Amino acid sequence: MAKDERTTEFRLIGTRPNRPDGLDKVTGRARYGADMTLPGMLFAAVVRSPHAHARILKIDASAALALEGVKAVVTRADFPTGLTGEDWNLQENSMAGDVALYDGHAVAAVAATSRLLAEDAAKLIKVDYEVLPHVIDVDDAIRPDAPVVRTGAADHSVPAGAPPNVVKCVDFGHGDIEAGFAAADLVREQTYKTEATHQGYIEPHACVAQLGADGKGEMWVCTQGQWYIRRMCAAVLGIDASGLRVTPSEIGGGFGGKTIIFMEPLALALSRKAGGRPVKLVMSRSDVLRATGPTASASMDVKLGMTKDGKLTAAKVNFRMQGGAFLGASPVGEALSCALACYDIPAVQHDGVEVLANRPKAAAYRAPGSPMAAFAVESLLDEMCHELGLDPLDVRLKNAVHEGVKASYGPTYAKIGLVEVLEATKAHPNLLAKLGPNQGRGIASGFWFNHGGETSVSLAIGEDGTVTVSAGTPDIGGSRASLALMVAETLGIEYEAVRVNIVETGALGVNEPSHGSRATFATGKAAVEAARQAIGEMCRRAAKEWGIEEEAVVWKDGAAMPAGPNAGKFPPMTIAEIGAKMGGTGGPISGHHETNAEGVGASFGAHVVDVEVDPETGRTTILRYLVVQDAGRAIHPAYVEGQYQGGAVQGIGWALNEEYVYGANGRLQNAVFLDYRIPVASDLPMIDTVIVEVPNPGHPYGVRGVGETGITPPLPAIANAVAMATGARIRSLPLSPPKVLAAIKAKGRG
């Protein structure tokens, strides 16, 4: 049943009003990162390493600086020294030091009076390199004799004698693993591999930055988190965080890739060197693909034990992931934690390593680590179901986690909705569709933790009773609409009477970015608290005017009113009336709430996909696609469905055609959208969605967060469908036509 047909206890929650940013976006009025222009502004261009690994011997910028209109050139020498840990990683990734670590690594930047001039000047900056041996593939990088990406990068978790590019080791688990496998009727073990993919946001990174010699500056930037940008830039440049004011632009997609800095410190450094003139820096698509965060590539072993009636008895996973040349960039910990999170398994063991390679520093990408882990585990689970002749959906239901079960990654689950999701999946008509020749159906489950995090929200009552919400989480997925709905619901006013602004770093306490599917959950929770605070004050104002006790006033339908006949007989005092006279009743009325939001509720999903594979070319067509996911509560169902569909589509791209293709020289071969093949609209059917609602008790309206779980089941669901359609099981992604055709031919020969 569509949510707009549903009757609920709510007036607005669960309805589908127009999005507040819609008109701006369709008329071109919305201002994105590259849309800002300031007086006296300069334009920047970046010189990038053409080598995967090379010592920088000399940088000669004299010819560039001799050009009329070139105002500044910066190299690593313009940045402070002595940084450590992740601050050093960020600085090194923004601008190479002694060694360029990947194809596309920035080595110098120039600012000039026009973009063309800056680009010409960049070509005149001469860099002498000594090319070093490089390594790209995760399994190659882990070999003891692999070219060493960086020495001394490993953390304390790595035992002595480990291969040189291993920088982190993780292991955890519980239960008696040997006894678990001994209790199984079928034990299977396989190895799986996924390639790095890019978030593929439509808006390239862009900023306009200004920084004076006094260390005070401003930045307009396309980001998921203005405070993260502020802190990271300040650390990299050696200035005070509060000296920098960062305003987020409208954002054209992020998917996790815009939670950290890439070229922003270069724009600030150029501005400082150019006497404080503002500098605009806009990446090209090739810059984005070569030098901003893709996700990690992974090589994964999975071992599962199952009884003949489908009960999982033990599971062991061992993952190897590379996230570029920097410790901590790969999501190996998250991948391990998500790998078995859908299932109640008596004994689990997780081992993983992070490996350095000469590739760009990985950034978060929608449920970081979980899609790869799901590909490995859900593929093997599917294989075992077929081997035992069991229904893959029933097996998932039989092992599904629920409230009170100890999660594979440690904690005990509170109220969760995987069972409800699987039951809704089982009841969906897509499962009754008949399959023809060369067609197959794949099923998989998926999981993401969701996240709370540092959150600060303010809310102010206007003189006419309308309401302004100041939020710190950029709206990448509809959070302005969902915040307005929750605030309007709480205040008892119309949705249109609430305006939500995403504000700059000076306007609120520190907010984490819009990441971890947290904006509607955490910012929403804080906004509801802020609204309740404002309601308290409005009730006090009414009580004062009526001359009754504060406790004798209640808030209902957007107005203060006496709690009952004994409280006194007064007509309701509306929010508009209270706002109109607040100057005379005690001054401005606002609400404010800040928190490390707790009460996060995990979101589980299940996907069912039908494919047809051309047996002569190996090309896969998606025929039908179903997403079923627990939202907790869908505040604005259209946005929730959009998140489900978006996750599925990104997963389809990852499963079928997206990959980073490197030449033998370590250079990225497909740094344009022509050859980095994200799905186009005509590749896709309408993605069917079912919103399951098992409310999260940790949120006033039951929200869990929906942004990320949707990308976790597609990889295995599609691989399982292709295996059924072709009879060939492929254990590495992407399932590109050459690979699928080769597998079909090998099976024919087999």
Residue 625 vs 639, nearer CB to another protein: 625
Residue 176 vs 675, nearer CB to another protein: 675
Output the CA angle 418-420-422, nearest 5 degrees.
70
Least gap, CB of 122 to another protein (angstroms) = 10
Using the contact rule CB under 8 A, the part of the chain among 295-303, 393-401, 452-460, 739-747 near another protein is 739-747
Using the contact rule CB under 8 A, the part of the chain among 104-112, 184-192, 405-413, 666-674 near another protein is 666-674
Using the contact rule CB under 8 A, the part of the chain among 86-94, 289-297, 399-407, 680-688 near another protein is 680-688
- Please tell me the chain's helix, strand, coil percentages from 3-state DSSP, rounded to the nearest 5: 30, 25, 45
Amino acid at 342: C
Does residue number 680 form part of the binding site for another protein (CB under 8 A)? yes
Contact with another protein (CB under 8 A): which of 679, 710, 713, 714?
679
Using the contact rule CB under 8 A, the part of the chain among 170-178, 185-193, 438-446, 740-748 near another protein is 740-748
**In terms of C-beta density within 10 A (0-12 exposed, 13-18 middle, 19 or more buried), how is residue 66 classed?**
exposed
Distance CA 4, CA 26 (A): 24
Binding to another protein, residues 110-129 (CB under 8 A): 119
Does residue number 462 form part of the binding site for another protein (CB under 8 A)? no
Do residues 420 and 428 touch, judged by C-beta distance below 8 A? no
Contact with another protein (CB under 8 A): which of 57, 63, 202, 661?
661
Residue 462 vs 737, nearer CB to another protein: 737
Residue 590 vs 670, nearer CB to another protein: 670
Least gap, CB of 680 to another protein (angstroms) = 5
Using the contact rule CB under 8 A, the part of the chain among 489-497, 522-530, 536-544, 668-676 near another protein is 668-676
Q: What are phi and psi of 564, to 5 degrees?
A: -170, 180
Least gap, CB of 72 to another protein (angstroms) = 22
Does residue number 617 form part of the binding site for another protein (CB under 8 A)? yes
Residue 78 vs 659, nearer CB to another protein: 659
Residue 692 CA, distance from chain mean position: 22
Q: Would you call 187 helix, strand, or coil by DSSP?
A: strand
Do residues 634 and 693 touch, judged by C-beta distance below 8 A? yes
Least gap, CB of 621 to another protein (angstroms) = 9
Residue 109 vs 321, nearer CB to another protein: 109
Do residues 513 and 544 touch, judged by C-beta distance below 8 A? no
Residue 115 vs 426, nearer CB to another protein: 115
85's CB contacts (< 8 A; 6+ apart) are: none
Residue 571 vs 738, nearer CB to another protein: 738
Least gap, CB of 286 to another protein (angstroms) = 8
Does residue number 256 form part of the binding site for another protein (CB under 8 A)? no
Site mask, another protein, residues 6-25, x = CB under 8 A? --------------------
Least gap, CB of 281 to another protein (angstroms) = 17
Residue 160 vs 674, nearer CB to another protein: 674
Distance CA 725, CA 620 (A): 10
Do residues 135 and 325 touch, judged by C-beta distance below 8 A? no
Residue 27 vs 682, nearer CB to another protein: 682
Least gap, CB of 661 to another protein (angstroms) = 4
Contact with another protein (CB under 8 A): which of 677, 695, 727, 732?
677
Least gap, CB of 358 to another protein (angstroms) = 18
Residue 306 vs 735, nearer CB to another protein: 735
Least gap, CB of 749 to another protein (angstroms) = 13
Nearest to 614 by CA among 733, 725, 742, 724: 725
Residue 26 vs 680, nearer CB to another protein: 680
Do residues 246 and 505 touch, judged by C-beta distance below 8 A? yes
First to last CA, the chain: 48
Amino acid at 479: S
Nearest to 511 by CA among 556, 469, 453, 567: 453
Positions of E strands within 504-589: 553-556, 559-562, 573-574
Q: Which residues pair with 198 in a beta bridge?
A: 294
Using the contact rule CB under 8 A, the part of the chain among 253-261, 345-353, 552-560, 737-745 near another protein is 737-745
Does residue number 736 form part of the binding site for another protein (CB under 8 A)? yes
Token digits of residue 65: 């600086």
Using the contact rule CB under 8 A, the part of the chain among 248-256, 267-275, 345-353, 678-686 near another protein is 678-686
Distance CA 258, CA 513 (A): 9
Nearest to 56 by CA among 110, 102, 103, 96: 96
Residue 286 vs 590, nearer CB to another protein: 286
Binding to another protein, residues 294-333 (CB under 8 A): none
Contact with another protein (CB under 8 A): which of 169, 683, 695, 732?
683
Do residues 21 and 250 touch, judged by C-beta distance below 8 A? yes
Token digits of residue 233: 């830039």
Least gap, CB of 742 to another protein (angstroms) = 7
Nearest to 443 by CA among 503, 506, 386, 508: 386
Contact with another protein (CB under 8 A): which of 151, 587, 682, 686?
682
Q: Would you call 252 helix, strand, or coil by DSSP?
A: coil
Do residues 324 and 359 touch, judged by C-beta distance below 8 A? yes
Is the omega angle on the peptide bond into residue 734 within 30 degrees of 0, that is, cis? yes
Distance CA 393, CA 404 (A): 22
Residue 448 vs 660, nearer CB to another protein: 660
Distance CA 747, CA 739 (A): 12
Contact with another protein (CB under 8 A): which of 619, 642, 695, 727?
619
Does residue number 616 form part of the binding site for another protein (CB under 8 A)? yes
Least gap, CB of 116 to another protein (angstroms) = 10
Residue 215 vs 737, nearer CB to another protein: 737
Q: What are phi and psi of 159, to 5 degrees?
A: -70, 155
Distance CA 54, CA 428 (A): 55
Q: Would you call 539 helix, strand, or coil by DSSP?
A: helix
Contact with another protein (CB under 8 A): which of 669, 685, 746, 747?
669
Q: 233: how many CB neighbours lie within 10 A of its CB?
A: 28
Does residue number 657 form part of the binding site for another protein (CB under 8 A)? yes
**In terms of C-beta density within 10 A (0-12 exposed, 13-18 middle, 19 or more buried), how is residue 664 classed?**
exposed
Contact with another protein (CB under 8 A): which of 154, 538, 741, 743?
741
Least gap, CB of 654 to another protein (angstroms) = 13
Residue 108 vs 741, nearer CB to another protein: 741
Token digits of residue 301: 């072993």
Q: Would you call 551 helix, strand, or coil by DSSP?
A: helix
Contact with another protein (CB under 8 A): which of 1, 213, 432, 674?
674
Residue 596 vs 617, nearer CB to another protein: 617
Residue 445 vs 736, nearer CB to another protein: 736
Question: If binding means CB under 8 A, how many residues of this protein chain bind another protein?
Answer: 24
Does residue number 665 form part of the binding site for another protein (CB under 8 A)? no
Distance CA 155, CA 329 (A): 13
Distance CA 576, CA 567 (A): 22
Distance CA 120, CA 138 (A): 37
Footprint on this chain of another protein (rule: CB under 8 A): 119, 286, 616-619, 656-657, 661, 669-670, 674-675, 677, 679-680, 682-683, 736-738, 741-742, 745
